[in-house]
Amino acid sequence: MEFCDDCGSMMKADDGEWVCGSCGFTKPRGSAESYTVTEDQEASEIIESSGENSLPETDATCPECGNDRAYWYMQQIRSADESETRFFVCTECEHKWREDDN
């Protein structure tokens, strides 16, 4: 991602150069190797796991087996102006359900 040196708007890649849609400023596009990661930035967004489930647990009754504990996570499945949906995964049978499925 590049930002315009003149107006600060986000630029778009077009035929080997960056082009600002707001003011028309252009500059050559460098190769991916020319970008550096500073100490304040992370080189990767991948989080390594120990193999165990790292999701938080909560009290929730599984509709399949009746177990009273489940892992949960939130996911955006509709448009951005809608709230996220909470999903549960049973700690015993691994049945998966949504919060509004009850």
Q: What is the pLDDT of residues 40-55, one digit of tens each?
A: 555 554 455 555 667 8
| 15, pLDDT greater than 70 | yes
Binding site, annotated residues for Zn(2+):
4, 7, 20, 23, 62, 65, 90, 93
Could you identify the residue written with the tokens 């009746």?
66
pLDDT tens-digit series, residues 24-35: 888 888 765 555
Binding site, annotated residues:
4, 7, 20, 23, 62, 65, 90, 93
Domain 57-101 has CATH 2.20.25.10: yes
pTM > 0.85: yes or no: no
| 38, pLDDT greater than 60 | yes
Q: Are 7 and 23 in contact (CB under 8 A)?
A: yes
**What is the gyration radius of the CA atoms in the chain, in angstroms?**
23
